[in-house]
Structure 1
Amino acid sequence: MMRGIRVIGLMVAVLGWGTGVMSAAERPVPVFEELPFGTVRPGGWIQAQLERDAATGVLPDFDKFCTAVQRRVFASKAGAPKGQNSTEYWFYDGAHEGYWMDSLARASILSQDEALLEKAEDFVNYLLESQEENGYLGVYPPELRLSHVGDDEEFCTAGWTYMGLLAWYEGTGDARVLEAVERAMGWYMDHYNRGKQSYFSRPEVPFVSGPVSHGLVLTEVAHTLYRITGNEAYRDYMLWIYEDFEQGNAGGDDIKLKRLLDPTRAATQHGVHWTEQLRIPVWAWYATGDPKYREAAEAAWDKTREALLPSFCVMSDEGVGRERRLPTPETAYEYCDTMELTASALYTAEKTGESRFADLAERCFFNAAQAGRLPDGTANSYFTIDNRYAMPPEPATRFRHNAGHYWYRPVQGPPCCSFLMFRIAPYYTKMMWMKTADGGGLAAVAYGPSRVSTKVNGTGVTIREETDYPFSDTIRFTVEVERPVSFELWLRRPGWARREGEAREALTPEAALLRDRTRAHRASQADMTVTAPDAAIRKDGDYWVVSKQWKSGHTVTVEFSPVVEKALAANGEYALRRGSLVYALSIPAEETCLQVWKTGGAGEVITPGEALGGLEETVIEADPDSRLQSRKYTPKEGAEWTYWIHAVPHGKGARQDFEPVALEGDPLNPWEEPTCGLRGRMVNGAGEEIPLTLVPMGSTILRRTTFPKDNP
């Protein structure tokens, strides 16, 4: 059951509510509330990563190589030449322009890179100039609107674009942008709505292709506009979109209520659809109070847990396919899933106040997302594998799709996974801090180096979170205020930081391995200590709450004491983790250049062979003057990764084979030069105990993340 749910005037367990939008007295009250984008700024290694991505990663040159953002289809209203008469290619270009807008807006504002800010502003102006007098801001010419010919995907093209525009509005205060988005949403609400035209019901065809259901992302625009403006019409429209989808015939329908509420049906379809839509039943529950949405939200997260890999992303080499297989560490995940799962988990943490969702967001961002990209931001992999012994995996029968999807490439095909490499850190940063529902406090929901500046109880407040977390166990909060002010500071208690004997939910693949839906609980010796001079400290659900009258210079210190855990994976092996980090054995690798991406002029890709469905693995000479290259990796000769781990019990008195160790890395670039590790011993094939040091899996390219128990 979801905890932390508060209802005005009613107990949570009330039954028999009807459907539709209920009065404010009957709807559950979120525990926290989002802050506007830009209110939270990154610090430390997160800021350094964003700055590298903006300055020397592929981001500043991305539009030179991605034809989908070059055709400017919002202005031309002309699909790609290869599209012929199909509307699919209007969608393809428009959707990627939307991803580009969102990436540019968020990355430029948080990095404060001047060149990127200028590029983002130019793209904003281009979009605003393409808006028609009637408010329409989309990619289709008039004769193709509302026609539902082929894969007409108005909603998703608009959704991704408008979210980028709203981020630009909140981060810069450009009122033109909010006005444009409201006019644009007005056009959709006038044409697709109750008593008007359905979007997801297309009776002329028996089954509409799965990409159409990406249109549910327009719920996020409606949800965000409701937060910004308070206009309940946007909240109601968010609900109508979900209701219309429920009644429609679009594919990618795992998130439909009838699917979610069927306990025999697992998540099976496209992973990105699943992860980007997980937040919608949660929003619907808090918007209506209808218990069917609460039940659906709980079922969705239960099914998500069953598909989690050791890296804390869902398995998805395109499809989740949970009913046919287990989430073994040899199963790939799509990079897009890391971003969307992180965002959905944080949106759910905001509403429910439950630590387990923020735990998942941290672990997905710190492990799966970092393990699928290069630290310098020059490339990522479309598909990533937890136990990655080669890129691509070998033999060929071990992987689906073409080998190029497993390379590190500056621009993936399709490029959605490349865009999301630049969106995930800004989304994570935005949701690290939230306001309490009553507005009288601030909550550190997800940890990491950051700064939040906002008003609390009418007074300007800035809190600096100084830490190397998750590589450090210490966090120091320093408060600056315009004048002395009383408020509550909420500090999340991670599930892995609970005292001995206190039950905690373990978001691990154990349940998937056992094929059940029960929640696994395990006590640990981990702990969390909060030090706040002259303050009252109490426990409220999954949070420590620090209350006092704050003055500038006041501090709060949090100390974690995580233990090393051996987490059972779906293949019967064990992953080692400590706190939010999953650790892996780094396998020495040989790098091979397969493409060179020239950044001069309009951009040029030098690649061998034909790129028809897959890229030929023909080695070419790397260009030392180009920082952008497509690469594959193979283990160095003599590299060894066949080891067995001691399967010792958890809890008090358990022998620890691995202990944390500090490494001489770079605190601002810890994914390339790790600052922490686990040092211990494993058994090799000869039965010998070998000393080994594991590092965060995000600090590796080739790696082994799970290990079998004692060698028989």
Structure 2
Amino acid sequence: MRCKIIITAICFGMSAALFAQSVYPGQHAGKMKKETVAPVQLESFDLKDVRLLPSRFRENMTRDSTWMVSIDVNRLLHSFRTNAGVFAGREGGYMSVKKLGGWESLDCELRGHTTGHLLSAYGLMYAATGSEIFKLKGDSIVNGLAETQKALGNGYLSAFPEELINRNLRGTSVWAPWYTLHKLFSGLIDQYLYADNGLALEVAKEMGDWAYRKLKPQSEEVRRRMIRNEFGGINESFYNLYALTGNEDYHWLAEYFYHNDVIDPLKELKDDLGTKHTNTFIPKVIAEARNYELTRDETSRKLTDFFWHTMIDHHTFAPGCSSQKEHFFDTGHFSNYLNGYTGETCCTYNMLKLSRHLFCWTGDVKVADYYERALYNHILGQQDPESGMVCYFLPLLSGSHKVYSTKENSFWCCVGSGFESHAKYGEAIYYRNDKGIYVNLFIPSEVNWKEKGMTLRQETAFPAEETTTITVHAKEPVMTTVYLRYPSWSGKATVRVNGKKQTVRQTPGSYIALARKWHDGDRIEATYPMQVHIETTPDNRYKGALLYGPIVLAGERGTEGMKTPFSNPALYNDYYTYDYQVPEGLKTTLQIDMKHPERALQRIGKEMKFTTLQGDTIRPLYDMHRQRYVVYWDLVGRNDK
């Protein structure tokens, strides 16, 4: 999504955050009137049952939470109150509220989307930490939104006038009003699911009733004209609202936003992505995933599976991201699109959401492998550790650098989706079924499996170290199976239980099953050897990225010619046209033995730092901040036939 305004801004060096939520099998037990009817292999733990332990992930989450807490609720409600005319009796009136800038400016047609994202993020952070401050912030926003909805009088709720919806129906110029409402619906639903806010559900239902009354009388011609505009995952929200209430009107609304031109080719298993807008596309498939879960529609399942594999196998860069200048491109010329505008973060956010649905259905380790790669290389590295600000794109142009948001005057879509991502790292580490518990990610954390009276505590320095240690805590012995992901990137794994080496018959790209009666204090140690390997572009075997296990490595290229000092990395919000001013002659070649790439790198100490034979310093891409870098090298070497 590209904003139509450019606003000068200064980065104030505070913390940032990160991304609208979905419902996965097994979550939020007891809140659904319509449960999942499709067969699933695994269920997701509720986020409140997982706690992060000290790690880079928790550091990101802490920076995220700091910025989230600092944002004044009145600022987030200002544009909603302006639209509804709700100012009477307020001390100082609306003029005393410092208005948000960037995409939240009163002249930006997407205003209000950040409030929706933050409703989700406050709910997620409350579930992930248990801290009451996040519930209080969410409650305050919901109360303010309910007040403005009541003032408008017909169930409509937005930071912009209903006329933007009318323009959409007429086919006249307007940006993406339903996209923005999707964020609001999702945020309200998440407030109910994660923070038990019943008022949030009532507000969402009134919005849904308004939408039904608005759209039910419209002709098919109007419908098709309307959905040509980006509408995000509004149909996913209506499926979720239907699941929560059982109200068939909301199911009708979900189907109303079925986009024939996009989804029909997928039904025929056609890769007809062309140069379509990537992040407009993915949420529509997420809605199909929810349709399958709620109705067992096999067509929705097949097209979802086909789309996911098409994306991963053909449209995804080494860090797990996709899109260039927000769009699909001709993958027959893949290496031509390694520019400064690759990897819109919202696309990765949505691909991770879609991946979780597929993993619950299939338990496929390939899905878990992708999730790990995208999480570490893109999402984890989206946030600047110094300022907490986040990136719109992950540029793969050699010599480019990350361009960060600003605290006051950005609020791009990737800042909004950003507010959620760093709050919900715990959601995909563990899964369960009637056979046992799955350990998918090697992130320091603790999961409480309440039904079994069992807790797993995972401690690791991965990826700096190859070993993860899991300690079992249980009041009574528990007979179950612990499934350890055996990643496709791993060498021969070693597993010990209470110091005793276990026989590992599985191979990489599967799960190691440890079935036994577990006692309090039992200890699992799993070691996954990591190797350096090359991933070349499909059209050019001499253009490739280096990886160490699942971690994409990047070469340091300094700060020569950078436009601004990196205490203020992005003077303008020109993320879409940013001129990286790459110095002439910047070195992009790498001398390497194609059959034995590990010979080209030497690791320095225990940290994730390497040097090459030609003197390059190589680090994980997620650690590459405030300087230029190279990810895709021009490879030169022997034994490459």
| Structure 2 equivalent of residue 341 of structure 1 | 351
TM-aligned CA distance change 1:547 to 1:125, over 3 Å:
farther
How far 1:539 moved relative to its partner? Answer: 5.8
Cα distance in 2, alignment partners of residues 451 and 128 from structure 1: 37
Give the secondary structure class of the aligned counterpart of 2:437.
strand
Contact 2:45/2:430 (8 A) holds in 1: yes
How far 1:98 moved relative to its partner? Answer: 0.4
| Structure 1 equivalent of residue 379 of structure 2 | 369
Summarize the alignment of residues 597-636 of structure 1 with structure 2, pairs less than 5 Å apart.
Answer: none
| Structure 2 equivalent of residue 452 of structure 1 | 447
How far 1:567 moved relative to its partner? Answer: 0.8
Q: Does 1:119 align with 2:137?
A: yes
Cα distance in 2, alignment partners of residues 545 and 356 from structure 1: 17
Query: Structure 2: which amino acid aligns with 1:707?
Result: W
How far 1:536 moved relative to its partner? Answer: 10
Q: Does 1:212 align with 2:215?
A: no
Cα distance in 1, alignment partners of residues 217 and 516 from structure 2: 53
Cα distance in 2, alignment partners of residues 341 and 567 from structure 1: 20
Cα distance in 1, alignment partners of residues 302 and 577 from structure 2: 48
| Structure 1 equivalent of residue 338 of structure 2 | 329
Contact 2:495/2:525 (8 A) holds in 1: yes
Residue of structure 1 aligned with 2:494, choices 529, 548, 567: 529
Summarize the alignment of residues 266-285 of structure 1 with structure 2, pairs less than 5 Å apart.
Answer: 266=273, 268-285=275-292
Q: Does 1:354 align with 2:364?
A: yes
Corresponding pairs, count:
571
Q: For residues 11-32 of structure 1, what are the alpha-carbon distances to aligned partners after superposition, in whole Å with 9 as ceiling and x for unaligned?
A: xxxxxxxxxxxx999x652111
Contact 2:470/2:524 (8 A) holds in 1: yes
Cα distance in 2, alignment partners of residues 324 and 89 from structure 1: 40
TM-aligned CA distance change 1:93 to 1:146, over 3 Å:
closer
Residue of structure 2 aligned with 1:307, choices 315, 323, 328: 315
| Structure 2 equivalent of residue 4 of structure 1 | none
Cα distance in 2, alignment partners of residues 100 and 267 from structure 1: 33
Cα distance in 2, alignment partners of residues 448 and 167 from structure 1: 24
Cα distance in 1, alignment partners of residues 476 and 142 from structure 2: 38
Summarize the alignment of residues 45-444 of structure 1 with structure 2, pairs less than 5 Å apart.
Answer: 45=55, 46-55=57-66, 58-61=67-70, 69-73=76-80, 76-77=83-84, 92-107=110-125, 109-110=127-128, 118-130=136-148, 132=150, 136=155, 138-139=157-158, 148=169, 156-172=179-195, 174=196, 177-178=197-198, 180-181=200-201, 184-185=204-205, 188=208, 192=212, 197=216, 201=220, 203=222, 206=225, 208-219=227-238, 221-222=240-241, 226=243, 233=246, 240-241=252-253, 243-246=255-258, 254=262, 256-259=263-266, 261=268, 263=270, 265-266=272-273, 268-305=275-312, 306-322=314-330, 326=334, 328-330=337-339, 332-391=342-401, 406=403, 409-410=406-407, 413=410, 415-436=412-433, 438=434, 441-444=436-439
Residue of structure 1 aligned with 2:524, choices 556, 560, 565: 556
Give the secondary structure class of the aligned counterpart of 1:471.
coil
Contact 2:604/2:611 (8 A) holds in 1: no
Of the structure 1 ranges 380-389 and 114-123, higher mean CA displacement relative to structure 2 is found in 114-123
Q: TM-score, normalised by structure 1?
A: 0.68
Query: Structure 1: which amino acid aligns with 2:632?
Result: T
Summarize the alignment of residues 574-653 of structure 1 with structure 2, pairs less than 5 Å apart.
Answer: 574-590=544-560, 592-593=563-564, 641-649=587-595
| Structure 1 equivalent of residue 23 of structure 2 | none
How far 1:204 moved relative to its partner? Answer: 7.8
Cα distance in 1, alignment partners of residues 616 and 160 from structure 2: 61
Cα distance in 2, alignment partners of residues 648 and 321 from structure 1: 28
Query: Structure 2: which amino acid aligns with 1:644?
Result: L
Contact 2:471/2:523 (8 A) holds in 1: yes
Give the secondary structure class of the aligned counterpart of 2:464.
coil
Query: Structure 1: which amino acid aligns with 2:633?
Result: F
Of the structure 1 ranges 272-281 and 445-454, higher mean CA displacement relative to structure 2 is found in 272-281
Contact 1:334/1:383 (8 A) holds in 2: yes
How far 1:566 moved relative to its partner? Answer: 0.9
Q: Does 1:461 align with 2:454?
A: yes
Q: For residues 237-286 of structure 1, what are the alpha-carbon distances to aligned partners after superposition, in whole Å with 9 as ceiling and x for unaligned?
A: 786555433366xxxx53x1334535251253222223334433333344
How far 1:99 moved relative to its partner? Answer: 1.3
Q: For residues 43-82 of structure 1, what are the alpha-carbon distances to aligned partners after superposition, in whole Å with 9 as ceiling and x for unaligned?
A: 2221122113333xx5444569x97x3524178436999x
Contact 2:332/2:539 (8 A) holds in 1: no
Contact 2:64/2:388 (8 A) holds in 1: yes
Cα distance in 2, alignment partners of residues 295 and 363 from structure 1: 24
Cα distance in 1, alignment partners of residues 623 and 409 from structure 2: 21
Contact 2:80/2:145 (8 A) holds in 1: no
Contact 2:430/2:441 (8 A) holds in 1: yes
Give the secondary structure class of the aligned counterpart of 2:453.
strand
TM-aligned CA distance change 1:353 to 1:375, over 3 Å:
same
Q: Which has the higher contact order (CA 8 A, sep 6+)?
A: 2
Query: Structure 1: which amino acid aligns with 2:281?
Result: W
How far 1:704 moved relative to its partner? Answer: 0.5
Cα distance in 1, alignment partners of residues 587 and 382 from structure 2: 20
How far 1:553 moved relative to its partner? Answer: 1.1
Contact 2:77/2:145 (8 A) holds in 1: no
| Structure 1 equivalent of residue 50 of structure 2 | 40
Give the secondary structure class of the aligned counterpart of 1:301.
helix
Q: For residues 504-554 of structure 1, what are the alpha-carbon distances to aligned partners after superposition, in whole Å with 9 as ceiling and x for unaligned?
A: xxxxxxxxxxxxxxxxxxxxxx23333235899886993222222222211
**Matched residues, percent identical?**
16
How far 1:349 moved relative to its partner? Answer: 1.4
Give the secondary structure class of the aligned counterpart of 2:63.
helix
Higher fraction of helix: 2
Please list every run of 5 or more consecutive structure 2 residues that lacks an aligned counterpart in the other structure: 1-33, 87-93, 100-105
Cα distance in 1, alignment partners of residues 54 and 183 from structure 2: 29
| Structure 2 equivalent of residue 621 of structure 1 | none
Give the secondary structure class of the aligned counterpart of 1:53.
helix
Query: Structure 2: which amino acid aligns with 1:544?
Result: I
Give the secondary structure class of the aligned counterpart of 2:48.
coil
Q: For residues 174-194 of structure 1, what are the alpha-carbon distances to aligned partners after superposition, in whole Å with 9 as ceiling and x for unaligned?
A: 3xx14541563376268639x
Contact 2:381/2:622 (8 A) holds in 1: yes
Q: For residues 150-190 of structure 1, what are the alpha-carbon distances to aligned partners after superposition, in whole Å with 9 as ceiling and x for unaligned?
A: 65977544542343344444544x3xx14541563376268
Cα distance in 2, alignment partners of residues 615 and 270 from structure 1: 14
How far 1:37 moved relative to its partner? Answer: 2.7
| Structure 1 equivalent of residue 103 of structure 2 | none
TM-aligned CA distance change 1:347 to 1:264, over 3 Å:
closer
Q: For residues 282-311 of structure 1, what are the alpha-carbon distances to aligned partners after superposition, in whole Å with 9 as ceiling and x for unaligned?
A: 333444444322331232123312111122
Give the secondary structure class of the aligned counterpart of 2:616.
strand
TM-aligned CA distance change 1:335 to 1:171, over 3 Å:
same
| Structure 1 equivalent of residue 3 of structure 2 | none
Give the secondary structure class of the aligned counterpart of 1:496.
coil
How far 1:614 moved relative to its partner? Answer: 8.6
Q: For residues 390-434 of structure 1, what are the alpha-carbon distances to aligned partners after superposition, in whole Å with 9 as ceiling and x for unaligned?
A: 358xxxxxxxxxxxxx45544564522112233223333212222
Cα distance in 2, alignment partners of residues 711 and 480 from structure 1: 51
| Structure 2 equivalent of residue 622 of structure 1 | none
Cα distance in 2, alignment partners of residues 371 and 548 from structure 1: 38
Contact 1:476/1:557 (8 A) holds in 2: yes
TM-aligned CA distance change 1:378 to 1:152, over 3 Å:
closer
- Cα RMSD of the aligned pairs, angstroms, is 4.4
Cα distance in 2, alignment partners of residues 536 and 179 from structure 1: 54
Contact 2:534/2:545 (8 A) holds in 1: yes
Cα distance in 2, alignment partners of residues 373 and 633 from structure 1: 19
How far 1:483 moved relative to its partner? Answer: 2.4
